[in-house]
Structure 1
Amino acid sequence: MEKEIIYNENLHFEHKQWQSELAFWEDELKSFTKRLEELVTKWTKKEVLTQLEHFQNEFILQDGIIDKLLEEIEIHESRIAGQSLTGENAIDTVLMKGHLDFRNKMETQRQIYADLKKEFFKFLTKYM
């Protein structure tokens, strides 16, 4: 059975896709935070303010997660670049495992973020 070769340039491409997606999420979070600021001035009910605080905390948490994910991508990019300097164009198994683990993290985070957005949009529909 022939081994599949995974080239660094393919991983780099996927990293760029993830970075773009994470940058988009960052922009969305800024927009969502502005919506929260608008709502704070409109509502005084404790239950609404509690939900506003919940979303504010979630957005702060997501922003921190995005920063960590971007940092992990940069570390992986550095490792790939280091390997490329040695003349290797195909990734080794340790780096590939790390890449696959990160891909799973991104998929999980994508679902968490999508669920948060759905919850927030339902909230906005009710209180905007």
Structure 2
Amino acid sequence: MEKEVIFNSDLHFEHKQWRRELFFWEDELRSFNNRLNELVLRWTKKDVLAQFEHYQNQFIIHENTIKELEDHINLHETNIAEHTKKGEDVLNQELVKNHIEYRNRMEIERNLYNNLKKEFFRYLSEYM
């Protein structure tokens, strides 16, 4: 069985995709927080405000996860650049293994974030 060769350019391309997606999520979260601030001005019921706090906390958790993923991408990009300077176009197995783990983390975050959005939109439709 022949080993698959993964090139720096392949990883760099995926990093660019991830960065765009993370940037979009950051922008969406700012918008969602603005919607929450509008709700706080309209409602005083404790159950509505408890939900408000729930979403506010969830948005903070996702913002932190986004920052962590961005940090990983930046570190990995630095490593790719170092390999490229040395004329090495293929990363070692450990770095590729780490990349695959972060690909999985991106997929998990993508699913969690999409579920949160659906839930939040239902909440907005009820209280906006």
How many Å separate the matches in 2 of 1:4 and 1:48? 53
Structure 1, residues 12-69: CA drift from partner, whole Å, max 9, x if none? 0000000000000000000000000000000010000000011111111111111111
Offset of residue 2 of structure 1: 2.5
- 1:107 matched to which residue of 2? 107
- 1:8 matched to which residue of 2? 8
Q: Extract unaligned runs of 5+ from structure 1.
A: none
TM-score by length of 2: 0.97
- 2:44 matched to which residue of 1? 44
Q: Percent identity?
A: 54
Offset of residue 3 of structure 1: 2.1
Residue 123 in structure 1 maps to residue 123 in structure 2: yes
TM-score by length of 1: 0.97
Residue 57 in structure 1 maps to residue 31 in structure 2: no
How many Å separate the matches in 2 of 1:54 and 1:116? 11
CA RMSD of aligned residues (A): 0.8
Letter in 2 for 1:58: Q
Q: Which runs of 4+ in 1 moved over 3 A?
A: none
Letter in 2 for 1:41: L
Offset of residue 4 of structure 1: 1.6
How many Å separate the matches in 2 of 1:7 and 1:65? 27
Structure 1, residues 44-97: CA drift from partner, whole Å, max 9, x if none? 100000000111111111111111110010011111111112211012111100
1:76 partner SS: helix
Residue 22 in structure 1 maps to residue 22 in structure 2: yes
How many Å separate the matches in 1 of 2:24 and 2:71? 16
- 1:71 matched to which residue of 2? 71
Letter in 2 for 1:85: K
Letter in 2 for 1:16: K
Residue 82 in structure 1 maps to residue 92 in structure 2: no
Letter in 2 for 1:107: E
2:6 partner SS: coil
1:111 partner SS: helix
Q: Extract unaligned runs of 5+ from structure 2.
A: none
